[in-house]
Amino acid sequence: MAGQWLFFYYILSFYGFSVINDNMEIWNRWEALGSSPYKAGDSAGNLVFAAHTIGAGIVAFGGALQLIPKVRAVAPRFHKINGYIYLATVFCLAMSGFYLSWIRGASPDTVSAIGTSINGFLILGFAFLAVKHAINRDIATHRQWAIRLFLVSNAQWFLRVGVFSYMITGTVLGAKPAFGDPFFTIWTFACFLLPLAAAQLYFYASTRPNANLKIVAAAVLFILTMLMIIGVIGLTPFLMQIVSGEPISF
């Protein structure tokens, strides 16, 4: 959760203030990594990109609050209102993702656009199912779909954390990871499919009496958590470089 709130801070500090200060050209600091999100003369596209990125920050912050049991118990009205805001934001996130991928052409290649689109359809589907089960008062099932929605709507966070985890872990193991490795194509899809698979394993194991299955599920979650922590540790100084205006380096 701390990592996602860091992501929220980065998005507001970098993208949010650049919009407020009418300095959206600064987005092209990413040009060194093959991305130029700001396009001169494309006001509509630039605003959609800004809304998409700021929406990702809102999802990271508000979604984490939705999953805290204490918040649900102590402030149910806040949980409900925050849920409405969250649902509206993820809907906009999915639709703007479609626009940026296929109309504006913001994705670096077709594979990335396909990955973004699959993720967008999953967001819309999971949001519908989460709302449906909440209306039907099936809270246990609602929470499962809410967790799935949280995971797919935070794909951009998992994408970044996974990349840094891969680079750091690969370097430590002597594998010499580099941009352009097959990992990056795979991770385009795995950044949301792997968290979903891990969640499904947890849901399944929690309803079965098999002790070995519970051990396997716990081990998988532990390994993924450790890899995520490594990624967060690597990503944090990188995000601070971007926010501070320092030269981007790895």
The tens digit of pLDDT for each residue in 59-88 reads: 888 888 888 888 888 888 998 899 999 999
Per-residue pLDDT tens digits for 186-201 = 999 999 999 999 999 9
Q: What is the mean pLDDT of residues 171-175?
A: 90
Residue 170 has pLDDT above 90, yes or no: yes
- Of 58, 220, 222, nearest in space to 153 by CA: 58
Q: What is the pLDDT of residue 15?
A: 83
Q: What is the mean pLDDT of residues 41-54?
A: 87
Distances (CA, A) of 234 to 10, 65, 172, 225, 237: 14, 24, 13, 14, 7
Residue 149 has pLDDT above 50, yes or no: yes
Give yes or no for a contact between 103 and 94, defined as CB atoms under 8 angstroms apart. Answer: no
105: its two tokens: 């052409």
Q: What is the mean pLDDT of residues 161-176?
A: 92
pTM for the whole thing?
Answer: 0.89
What backbone torsions phi and psi does residue 91 show, to the nearest 5 degrees?
-65, -50
Report the amino acid identity of residue 114. I
Q: What is the mean pLDDT of residues 212-222?
A: 96
Per-residue pLDDT tens digits for 95-132 = 999 998 888 876 777 888 899 999 999 999 999 999 99
Residue 233 has pLDDT above 50, yes or no: yes
Average pLDDT taken over every residue of the chain: 88
What secondary structure does DSSP assign to 184-232, as a single string? HHHHHHHHHHHHHHHHHHHHHHHT---HHHHHHHHHHHHHHHHHHHHHH
Q: Where are the domains of the chain?
A: 2-244
What b/e sequence results for 159-169 when a residue is b if at least 16 CB atoms lie within 10 Å of its CB, and e otherwise?
bbbbbbbbbbb
Give yes or no for a contact between 198 and 221, defined as CB atoms under 8 angstroms apart. Answer: yes
Q: Is 94 helix (H, G, I), strand (E, B) or coil?
A: helix
Residue 32 has pLDDT above 50, yes or no: no
**Higher local confidence (pLDDT), 140 or 14:** 140
How far is residue 118's CA from residue 95's CA, in Å, rounded to a whole number? 12
Computed over its alpha carbons, how large is the radius of gyration of the chain?
19
85: its two tokens: 């805001």
pLDDT band at 248 (very low <50, low <70, confident <90, very high): low
